[in-house]
């Protein structure tokens, strides 16, 4: 079980580092002189993409725990 948790955490941190801009956003933001706006847009996209996965994982974990607890009784 510990290996699964460590594996999940490693994947999660690699997921945060990915670039998530669409082609049109990238073309417009690369023409800008400073890259701070592009980094901000990229972080916002990754944040909006990660929240549903975290919520689904939390609900799945809750159901898993509840099912295993009923199975033991």
pLDDT in tens, 32-41: 777 777 778 8
The whole-number pLDDT of residue 3 equals: 81
Q: Please tell me which residue, 71 or 60, carries the higher pLDDT value.
A: 60
Question: H helices of 1-73, where?
Answer: 2-16, 23-30, 36-72
Buried b vs exposed e over 29-49: b needs ≥16 C-beta within 10 Å? beeeeeeeebeebbeebbeee
* Rounded mean pLDDT, 21-32: 71
Q: pTM of the entire structure?
A: 0.49
- Determine the Cα–Cα distance for residues 49 and 71; give it in Å rounded to an integer: 34
């Amino acid at each position: 079980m510990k290996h699964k948790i460590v594996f999940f955490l490693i994947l999660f941190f690699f997921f945060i580092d990915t670039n998530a801009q669409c082609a049109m956003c990238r073309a417009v933001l690369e023409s800008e002189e400073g890259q701070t706006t592009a980094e901000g847009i990229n972080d916002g996209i990754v944040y909006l993409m990660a929240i549903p996965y975290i919520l689904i994982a939390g609900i799945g974990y809750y159901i898993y725990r509840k099912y295993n607890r009923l199975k033991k009784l």
